[in-house]
Structure 1
Amino acid sequence: MGRPRHILVIRLSAMGDVAMMLPVLKAFTEKYPDVKLSLLTRRFFTPMFKDLPNVQVFEAEVKGRHQGLRGLKRLSSELLDLKIEAVADLHNVLRSNILKFFFKLKGIPVRQIDKGRKEKKALTRSNNKVFKQLKATQQRYAEVFDKLGYPVDISAVQVLQKQESTENLRAVTGEKAEKWLGIAPFAQHASKAYPEDLMKEVLQELQKGQNLKIFLFGGGKEETGKLAAWEKTFPKAVSVAGKLSFEEELALISNLDLMLSMDSGNGHLAANFGVPVISIWGLTHPYTGFAPFRQPATNSLLPNLQKYPAIPTSIYGKDIPKGYEEVMRSIPPQKVVEKIKELLGRS
């Protein structure tokens, strides 16, 4: 039997993890243009993949008709109706493992990501920590396709092209007459977000420069409200929260000169377009393998690791150990501003 010609790719969430698939899928489609990829993910993420040939998104309704064991059985039947010949599971969670069981009953081969749980545990434990760079998540994704007989080299893949603006997007951004800086100040967990008072100091300092426009990214009612207030406070800042579709946000991100983000999805989105990314890290660390694609290590701003030697304390930054509540405050606002000015001066 030859190599599969139609592969199901599974990666349901979160946005950053889904975004990290892009270099891998792009490299795959360029090397194997005759192989079809069906991508099982959230519908919201579909615009990320619109420029990838032979990639078709299949929506996972995990809170609807695909909920629970019965829903996953239904989902497996719907996916088998697509005539898939193999599965690349880039998620390896309970849902995808249940799907794996159903697929194997039908003789469909499934290969799954090795998340490196053992070495990640060694990196994040407080005692006998093994502090070393782990494999990039993008490489872990590529290895799954290798297991299916499709080696993928992401080292030479070209970044995505800049996206065209829309009338609605231009109404928010105006024409580009200065450097465009994106700032995504929030993260899923508080330990990964730069303190708001310090971020305001960064924004205040950036008001002094010329030839700069700042776009603030966020989502949800609370973040949108905060960014609207910041927009009123800082004349060079424009909040795009709640004003643009996700596809329009991607177009804006693709045209930025620089993105400042936390250890979060917006940094990965920008990196996929070749936009320089400054990432601010709290209790997590680039050694976990989640740094934005092709960004130099010097673009990662880290807390004082001598004062906080237990960092990284976790992979996702969900829990805050005692005494580590203020790690982000060991990254001075001036350091952030200096790095922004350095990279904007190059772009």
Structure 2
Amino acid sequence: MSKKQKNILVIRLSAMGDVAMSVPVLRALEQQHPEVKTTVLTKSFFKPFFRDLQHVTVFSADVKGEHKGVFGLYKLARELNKNHYFYAIADLHSVLRSKILKKFMHCKRFVSIDKGRKEKRLLTSGKQFKQLKTTHQRYADVFEALGFPLDLTNPKFPKRVPLNKKLQNILGDDSKKQIGIAPFATYESKMYPLDAMKQVIETLSKDYKVILFGGGNYETELLNTMAIEFDNTINISGKLRLDEEMDIISNLDVMLSMDSGNAHIAAMLGVKVVTVWGVTHPFAGFAPFNQPEDYALLADRNKYPKIPTSIYGNKYPEHYKEASRSVSPETIISKIKSII
């Protein structure tokens, strides 16, 4: 690193979607402030997210292993202090763990994200229903406070990744348009009911290639069943590394996702993303990056006026669990066909 180049430690340890949302912001930082280098402190699993950023290196944190607890964070800080000189610390996470870590760092110039907790409480309590600042902009505000203002309105994205033989063999060589579908989310309240999702897959698979995304044994089994049931449908859950999944996502014509990590991975790669929303709402600031408003298909607030019931979908009245069913399969199919 040249003497003129400033190295910023960027802290964003989890979760998948939140880490993926940092990528377009760091890409803008790289393009608009080439004098800045960033060291991203995150889980090693997320390292592929940053693969096309030339001024970004990833420092892996094992917060459930050797970097667990206060002593583990002290050890992590020693490793960081020993190997790097940081001009500043950009804390995009702002949790107890990152605050403790900063106490042990030699660098004293740091800015933490303003998560807008008060505004979000007003939103979920029904006292104020309006669009809040996006998470991407909240990340950008941290860098502006450090002296590096960012414009996120004209983003550039990496090119589609040429698929290797392994991935070509999995997907086949026909010329059909490709639709990715990621039907799962952390909470059931954020998922489109699977029986309705099957209707979507059945219809789309008649004209397009459908590629199913998920993770874990339970999701993989369900997706395997769907792949067998419908033509032109391929399940890649449990078969590939994260970087290989990203290669496939970069080649999609559109991704259909819940309010979940896959939406943000596709968006950071410049792929068009249609999202289906249950008890959460884009107003909280977690819509995927650079997508038109009408790509977000929302549950009917006339039927479910308390939406958003929570920011993450973990709190809701019992009869709101299937709020997303108020979005018809025909609406989803029509939106995807209009984009393709």
- What TM-score, normalized by structure 1, do the two folds share? 0.94
Q: Distance in 2 between matches of 1:58 and 1:37?
A: 10
Report Cα offsets for 1:260-296 as digits up to 9, x if no partner. 0000111111112221111000000010111011111
Stretch of structure 1 that moved more, 290-299 or 166-175 = 166-175
Q: Distance in 1 between matches of 2:163 and 2:156?
A: 21
Q: Tell me the equivalent position of 2:100.
A: 98
2:319 is paired with a residue of what secondary structure? coil
Q: Distance in 2 between matches of 1:176 and 1:113?
A: 46
- Give yes or no for the alignment of 1:145 onto 2:146: no
Q: Distance in 2 between matches of 1:321 and 1:140?
A: 30
Report Cα offsets for 1:62-109 as digits up to 9, x if no partner. 011100110001111111122222100000011101112222xx3521
Specify every segment of 5 or more residues in structure 2 that has no aligned partner in the other structure, as ranges: none
Q: Residues 166 and 248 of structure 1 are in contact (CA less than 8 Å); yes or no, is this contact kept in structure 2?
A: no
Runs of 4 or more above 4 Å deviation? none
1:20 is paired with a residue of what secondary structure? helix
Q: Tell me the equivalent position of 2:234.
A: 238
Q: Residues 87 and 107 of structure 2 are in contact (CA less than 8 Å); yes or no, is this contact kept in structure 1?
A: no
Q: Tell me the equivalent position of 1:266.
A: 262
1:21 is paired with a residue of what secondary structure? helix
Q: Distance in 1 between matches of 2:282 and 2:296?
A: 7
| AA matched with 1:322 | E
Q: Residues 179 and 256 of structure 2 are in contact (CA less than 8 Å); yes or no, is this contact kept in structure 1?
A: yes
Q: Distance in 1 between matches of 2:221 and 2:55?
A: 39
| AA matched with 1:138 | H
Structure 1 residue 3: deviation in Å?
9.2
Q: Tell me the equivalent position of 1:77.
A: 78
Q: Tell me the equivalent position of 2:25.
A: 24
| AA matched with 1:142 | A
Q: Distance in 2 between matches of 1:44 and 1:180?
A: 26
| AA matched with 1:50 | R
Q: Distance in 1 between matches of 2:330 and 2:32?
A: 44
Q: Distance in 2 between matches of 1:146 and 1:3?
A: 19
Q: Distance in 2 between matches of 1:287 and 1:305?
A: 13
Q: Distance in 2 between matches of 1:172 and 1:322?
A: 40
| AA matched with 2:259 | D
* Equivalence map 1:190-205=2 (5 Å): 190-205=188-203
Q: Tell me the equivalent position of 1:115.
A: 115
| AA matched with 1:8 | L
| AA matched with 2:152 | I
What is the percentage of aligned positions where both structures have the same residue? 50
Structure 1 residue 326: deviation in Å?
2.5
In the alignment of these two chains, the number of paired residues is 337
Q: Distance in 2 between matches of 1:325 and 1:24?
A: 33
Q: Distance in 2 between matches of 1:35 and 1:156?
A: 20
Q: Residues 261 and 279 of structure 1 are in contact (CA less than 8 Å); yes or no, is this contact kept in structure 2?
A: yes
Q: Tell me the equivalent position of 1:165.
A: 163
Q: Distance in 1 between matches of 2:32 and 2:293?
A: 29
Stretch of structure 1 that moved more, 14-23 or 320-329 = 320-329
Note closer, same or farther for the CA distance 1:297–1:166 as it changes in structure 2 (3 Å cut).
same
Q: Tell me the equivalent position of 2:287.
A: 291
Q: Distance in 2 between matches of 1:159 and 1:131?
A: 32
* Equivalence map 1:1-347=2 (5 Å): 5-81=6-82, 82-103=84-105, 106-126=106-126, 129-207=127-205, 209-210=206-207, 212-344=208-340
Q: CA RMSD of the aligned region, Å?
A: 1.5
Q: Distance in 1 between matches of 2:29 and 2:113?
A: 16
